[in-house]
Structure 1
Amino acid sequence: MKMLLFLALAVHSCVASPASQILDRTDITAAVNLALKAYLTSVDDPLTLNPHIEYKIDAPLIADVLLTMDGATLGGVKDVTAENCDLTGSGPQDIELNLRASQLALSVPGYSMNGTVVDHIPLEGAGQASIVIEDLVAKLVGKGTATLSPFSVTFTEIALDLELFRWTVNFEDLAPGTDLGTVFNQFFSMCGPELFDILEIRLNEGDGLLNFINGIFKP
């Protein structure tokens, strides 16, 4: 899941106005969008993710399960755009980058899930799966230095905030031999924002996020 969100939101270099000029939010957003458009021309859609993904979902009162996904692809990445980006100050600057995906579609030829939901209900399943994420916004806020010709950013500190309108989950053959598969899929679909909050906390731990973003926006 971590690779899902990072690969869908990658940004590279672009040409725009020099950073020494007085720039408004529209200038910065346009620069990031040019960079994003240039980068996405080299990206396949759907995007092939890691061949094998393991993700431990540990959400109190929601789920305690191990999810594995094999052969997952992510569609909709070419439609990612930047909006309301901001850059203020000189020297160490306050930087805000907002990336929006109107719809991302995760397709999984083979998944397995094992654990419990709502603290005590056993849950297992294996088969095909799909997740449709609607109106996802990734806000990157931090301090660092940036230039716009060509566009580059070096963060010294950074935080990620994830927001989504909803996601729709469909795990086939979930709770096999029972009629609960539909109920569990509806349950996970309703808990999308809460599960993304847990993902957000994990991505903000340590220096992994900062190093990853600096690697993408390197001068």
Structure 2
Amino acid sequence: MKMLLFLALALHSCVASPASHVLERTDITAAVNLALQAYLTTVTDPVALKPHIEYKIDAPLIADVLLTMDGATLGGVKGIKAENCLLTGTDSQDIELNLRATELTLAMPAYTMNGSVVDHIPLHGKGQAGIEIEDLVASLVGKGTATLSPFSVQFTEIALDLELFRWTVDFQDLAPGTDLGTVFNQFFSMCGPEIFDLLEIRLNEGDGLLNFINGIFKP
């Protein structure tokens, strides 16, 4: 959810002047980066996430497990940059933001995992864990209206798309008492894009994302 907050705050600069129908892509990207970097100076890196997180991974033929995380932090957020952003239109505006993080680190001082993988292999673990995420791009695309004085943005439709190059998973004490911990870590490392697709679907369900962004920048 921290990534969603960064996406919302980056919109602070995505507004067209009254006489402008289309802002140049390079101009809007520079404006987003300026607002984003100003915000990130106020952020402590790594960012502390919720004290307790439960996440159900239900991916057919991959995993059906419940993952809990306590005291998790996300590092590398100060390196987030905007690229190829676009704002067009006057009354009803098309807004497109692309935020790239070259490297993020999710650290879990305490995790538990229970369930199965590949439909039938039991899996459980408990201990410390870390995930290295490489080249993550979060795209936020929507329609709405934006005003400058005072600034506000109201989306009528919005969607989030997540893409990553690779992630490397390291869950300690996974499948304890066996030699399968390394194998399972390699397996989950290969399934990063599929698991991110599940996260993307959940974030786009209902009006939660739209209401979250509109609530921050309501008129």
| Shift of residue 148, structure 1, vs aligned partner | 5.7
- Aligned pairs for 1:34-183 within 5 A: 34-147=34-147, 152-183=152-183
- Report the AA paired with residue 32 of structure 1: V
Q: Which amino acid aligns with 1:105?
A: T
For 2:158 and 2:14, locate their aligned partners in 1 and report how far apart those are by CA, in whole Å: 24
Check whether the contact 1:17–1:149 (CA below 8 A) recurs between aligned residues: no
Distance 1:146 1:20, change over 3 A: farther
Structure-2 separation of matches of 1:93 and 1:126: 48
Query: Alignment RMSD, CA only?
Result: 2.0
| TM-score normalised by structure 1 residue count | 0.92
Indicate the larger mover: 148-157 or 43-52.
148-157
Which amino acid counterpart does residue 9 of structure 2 have in structure 1?
V
Is this contact kept in 2: 1:19–1:149, CA < 8 A? Answer: no
**TM (normalized to structure 2)?**
0.92
Which is bigger in relative contact order (C-alpha 8 A, separation at least 6)? 1
Contact 1:57 1:64 in 2 (8 A): yes
**Cα separation, 1, equivalents of 2:23 and 2:9:** 20
3-state SS of 1:108 partner:
strand
Give secondary structure in 1 for the equivalent of 2:128.
strand
List runs of 5+ in structure 1 lacking aligned partners.
none
Q: Is the CA contact 2:64–2:115 (under 8 Å) kept in the aligned structure 1?
A: yes
**In the TM superposition, what is the alpha-carbon distance from 1:153 to its structure 2 partner?**
2.9
CA distance in 1 between partners of 2:9 and 2:177 (Å):
45
SS at match of 1:144: strand
**1:11 matched to which residue of 2?**
9
Contact 2:7-2:140 at 8 Å conserved across structures? no
- Is the CA contact 2:15–2:147 (under 8 Å) kept in the aligned structure 1? no
Q: CA 1:138 to 1:148, structure 2 compared with 1: closer, same or farther past 3 Å?
A: farther
Aligned partner letter, 2:19: S
1:158-184 CA-partner distances (Å, limit 9, x unpaired) = 011100000000000000000000000
Inter-partner Cα distance in structure 2 for 1:202 and 1:15: 26
Q: 1:108 to 1:132 in 2, by over 3 A?
A: same
Identical counterparts, % of pairs: 78
Amino acid aligned to 1:50: K
**Deviation of 1:214 (Å):** 2.3
State the aligned residue count.
217
Deviates more, 1:109-118 or 1:35-44: 35-44
* Partner Cα separation in structure 2 for residue 36 and residue 151 of structure 1: 16
1:20 aligns with 19
